[in-house]
């Protein structure tokens, strides 16, 4: 059997030893990585680079907004808004809203461009409110801006979200939400919210104010029968209000409008005789 000599020189095409193979593979890999880097692949730094680029876009959009370049500012945000998973997606939503709001009010009132810009605001604001999880201060800012553009229902939602986020200021936020519902033509909803505030309050003046205003809105929005039922239920928790002549007169008038003259007569008689009013009878 023929065997090749052990020390034959195979010339330039001789086989590489293992160490040579490793060096060759490392060199090829280095070339591949260098080419990939040149064409934009940065390996483990890709996410970090992307976040830095998004932050730069946000800063650039803010600068462009401050200089009145609204279209250019929106263009800077577009790539960030395409990635809802980005940490900067929510700040980008807020920045887009500020750009659109500023641009809308930059047009003269009553002009066609102003009207078109105002129509574009509500969907953007609705998206912000649906996104949720804003701090209480941001919710209040959105609520005020919504009210300013006539988006009263969105304003009410934002005020209620602020109330949930910050219980210490919940009473004021719910009161503003009630006023936003009333401005939206939903007086019954706003009235019920004020009655709930009256029932929770420990301040007699606020109890009286919330009750009378809430009842007025509720009657206007839902009618005398619904208002009468809600008023009696609220006064069951606040019996001291029956000593207020204005409230007794209001309830008596409401009872007459609701077709319950016996209740009206009984309440008026008790008030005149300074007897406790039995509201449930």
What are the average pLDDT values for consecutive 10-residue runs of the chain, which has 281 residues? Answer: 42 49 50 44 46 87 91 93 91 96 94 94 96 96 97 98 97 98 97 97 96 97 97 95 93 95 91 66 46
Angle between helices 224-237 and 187-200 (to 10 degrees): 10
pTM: 0.77
pLDDT at 86: 87
User: 90 exposed, middle or buried (CB, 10 Å; 0-12, 13-18, 19+)?
Assistant: middle
Sign (positive or negative) of CA dihedral 220, 221, 224, 230: negative
pLDDT at 73: 92
pLDDT at 7: 42
Are 70 and 40 in contact by the 8 Å Cβ rule? The answer is no
Are 277 and 236 in contact by the 8 Å Cβ rule? The answer is no
pLDDT at 53: 87
Instruction: Tell me the C-alpha distance between 251 and 256, whole Å.
Output: 9
Chain-centroid distance, C-alpha 63: 25
Instruction: Tell me the C-alpha distance between 135 and 140, whole Å.
Output: 9
pLDDT at 46: 41
Tell me the C-alpha to C-alpha distance, in Å, between residue 227 and each of 26, 36, 41, 220, 271.
84, 73, 68, 9, 20
């Amino acid at each position: 059997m023929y065997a090749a000599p052990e020390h034959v020189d195979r010339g330039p095409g001789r086989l590489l030893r293992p160490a040579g193979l490793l060096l060759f593979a490392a060199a090829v890999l280095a070339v591949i990585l260098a080419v990939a880097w040149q064409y934009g692949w940065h390996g483990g730094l890709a996410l970090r680079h992307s976040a830095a680029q998004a932050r730069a876009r946000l800063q650039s959009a803010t600068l462009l907004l401050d200089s009145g370049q609204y279209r250019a500012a929106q263009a800077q945000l577009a790539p960030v808004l395409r990635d809802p998973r980005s940490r900067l997606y929510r700040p980008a939503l807020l920045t887009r809203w500020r750009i659109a709001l500023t641009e809308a009010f930059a047009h003269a009132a009553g002009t066609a461009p102003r009207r078109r810009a105002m129509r574009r605001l509500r969907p953007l604001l609705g998206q912000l409110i649906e996104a949720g999880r804003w701090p209480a201060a941001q919710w209040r800012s959105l609520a005020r801006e919504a009210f300013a553009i006539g988006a009263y229902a969105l304003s009410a939602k934002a005020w209620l979200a602020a109330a949930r986020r910050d219980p210490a200021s919940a009473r004021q936020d719910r009161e503003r939400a009630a006023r936003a519902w009333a401005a939206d033509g939903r007086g019954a909803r706003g009235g019920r919210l004020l009655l709930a505030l009256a029932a929770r309050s420990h301040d007699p003046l606020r109890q009286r104010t919330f009750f009378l205003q809430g009842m007025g809105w509720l009657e206007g929005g839902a009618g005398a029968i619904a208002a009468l039922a809600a008023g009696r239920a609220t006064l069951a928790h606040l019996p001291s209000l029956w000593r207020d002549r204005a409230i007794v007169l209001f309830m008596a008038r409401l009872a007459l409008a609701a077709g319950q003259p016996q209740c009206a007569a009984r309440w008026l008689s008790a008030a005149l005789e300074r007897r406790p009013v039995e509201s449930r009878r």
